[in-house]
Structure 1
Amino acid sequence: MRILKCAILSIFVFAGVLSVTFQNGVKSQETPTAGQHDDSVRQARFRHSGRMDVEDGRNPDAINNQGRDDPTEAPAGFDNLTNGFNEQGPPFDTINDENVVALRSFNDNRFIFEEFETIEDGLGPTYNAQSCRECHQNVVTGGASQIAEHRTGRTDGGIFFESLGGSLVQSRATHANIVERVAFGDDIRTFRISTNTLGDGFVEAIANETLMGIRDRQPQNMRGTALMVPVFEGNGNARLGRFGWKNQHASLESFSADAYLNEMGITSPFLPEENTSGGRDVSRYDTVADPEDDGVDLVAFANFIRSTKVPDRGPINATVRSGESLFRQVGCATCHTSSITTAPSGTVINGG
Structure 2
Amino acid sequence: MRWLVFPVVFVVVGCGAEAPPDETGPSAEPGEELSGGETTVHDTSKNAYSLSARNMTSERRSAFFVGNSFFKENWVIAPSSTEGRDGLGPLFNARSCSSCHLLDGRGSPPDDPAEPLVSVLLRLSIPGTDAQGGPAPEPTYGGQLQPRAIPGVLPEGDAFVAYEEMPGSFPDGETYSLRKPIYTIAAARGDMQPDTRVSPRVAPVMIGLGLLEAVSEEDILRAEDPDDADGDGISGRANHVWDVVRGATALGRFGWKSNQPTLMQQTAGAFHGDIGITTSLFMTEDCTDAQADCKATPTGGAPEASEKILADVAFYSTTLAVPARRDVSDPVVLAGKRHFLDLGCGKCHTPVFHTGTFDGYPELSGQTIRPFTDLLLHDMGEALADDRPDFKADGREWRTAPLWGIGLLRVVNGHENLLHDGRARGFVEAVLWHGGEAEGSREAFRALPTEDRRALVRFLESL
TM over 0.5: yes
Alignment partners' CA distance in 1, 2:124 and 2:359: 42
Is the partner of 1:214 in helix, strand or coil? coil
Q: Helix, strand or coil for the counterpart of 2:241?
A: strand
Task: From the superposition, tell whether residues 260 and 312 of structure 1 become closer, same or farther in structure 2 (CA, over 3 Å).
Answer: same
TM-score, structure 2 length as denominator? 0.51
1:151 is aligned to 2:123? yes
Identity of aligned residues (%): 26
Query: For residue 283 of structure 1, what is the aligned residue in structure 2?
Result: 295
In structure 2, how many angstroms separate the alpha carbons of the residues matched to 1:223 and 1:309?
31
SS at match of 2:224: helix
Which residues of 2 match residues 1-352 of structure 1 at below 5 A?
72=37, 74-76=39-41, 77=43, 78=48, 80-84=50-54, 86-88=56-58, 104-120=62-78, 121-137=86-102, 140=103, 142-146=104-108, 147-153=119-125, 162-164=137-139, 165-175=141-151, 177-181=153-157, 182=187, 183-184=191-192, 185=194, 188-216=197-225, 219-220=228-229, 222-233=234-245, 235-276=246-287, 279-281=290-292, 282-316=294-328, 317-344=330-357
The alpha-carbon deviation at position 214 of structure 1 amounts to 2.0
Gaps of at least 5 residues in structure 1 are: 1-13, 17-63, 65-70, 91-102
Higher RCO (Cα < 8 Å, 6 or more apart): 1
Q: Are 2:271 and 2:278, in contact at CA under 8 Å, matched by a contact in 1? A: yes
Output one character per residue of 1:286-314: Cα deviation in whole Å (capped at 9) or x when no partner.
34333212222221111112221114433
- Post-superposition shift, 1:153? 4.5
Separation in 2, partners of 1:145, 1:312:
22
126 and 186 in structure 1: CA distance in 2 versus 1, 3 angstrom threshold: farther
C-alpha RMSD of the superposition? 3.3
Cα distance, 1:131 vs structure 2: 0.6
> 3-state DSSP class of the match of 1:299?
helix
SS in 1 for 2:296: helix
Q: Is the 8 A contact 1:85 1:306 kept in 2?
A: no
Render the CA deviation track for 1:9-55: whole Å, top value 9, x for unaligned: xxxxx957xxxxxxxxxxxxxxxxxxxxxxxxxxxxxxxxxxxxxxx
Letter in 2 for 1:143: G
Q: TM-score, normalising length from structure 1? A: 0.66
Change (3 A) 1:346 1:111: closer
Q: Which runs of 5+ in 2 are unaligned?
A: 1-11, 15-28, 30-35, 79-85, 109-118, 129-134, 158-186, 362-463
Q: Provide the rounded CA distance (Å) in 2 between the counterparts of 1:136 and 1:301.
A: 13
Greater CA drift, 163-172 or 110-119: 163-172
1:311–1:178 distance in 2 versus 1, CA, 3 Å = farther
Contact 1:124 1:286 (8 Å CA) reproduced: no
Distance 2:214 2:223 in 1: 15
- Rate the CA distance shift 1:328–1:74 in 2: closer, same or farther, 3 A: farther
**CA–CA distance in structure 2, aligned partners of residues 153 and 309 of structure 1:** 34
SS in 2 for 1:112: helix
> What is the Cα deviation at residue 80 of structure 1?
3.7
CA distance in structure 2 between the aligned counterparts of 1:154 and 1:231, rounded to whole angstroms: 22
In the comparison of the two structures, how many residue pairs are matched? 265
Aligned to 1:30: none
Conservation of the 8 A alpha-carbon contact between 1:88 and 1:107: no
- Compared with structure 1, are the counterparts of its residues 255 and 187 closer, same or farther at alpha carbon in structure 2 (3 Å cutoff)? closer
Are residues 277 and 228 of structure 1, via their aligned partners in 2, closer, same or farther at CA, if it must alter by over 3 Å? closer
How far did 1:245 drift?
Answer: 2.2
Structure 1 pair 258–86 and aligned structure 2 pair: CA distance change class (3 A): farther
CA contact (8 A) 2:125 2:138 kept: yes
The alpha-carbon distance between structure 1 residues 278 and 128, as it changes in their structure 2 partners (threshold 3 A), is farther
Residue pair 1:127, 1:265 contacting (<8 A) in 2 also: yes
Q: Name the stretch that deviates more: 183-192 or 286-295.
A: 183-192
Q: What is the one-letter code of the residue matched to 2:69?
A: F
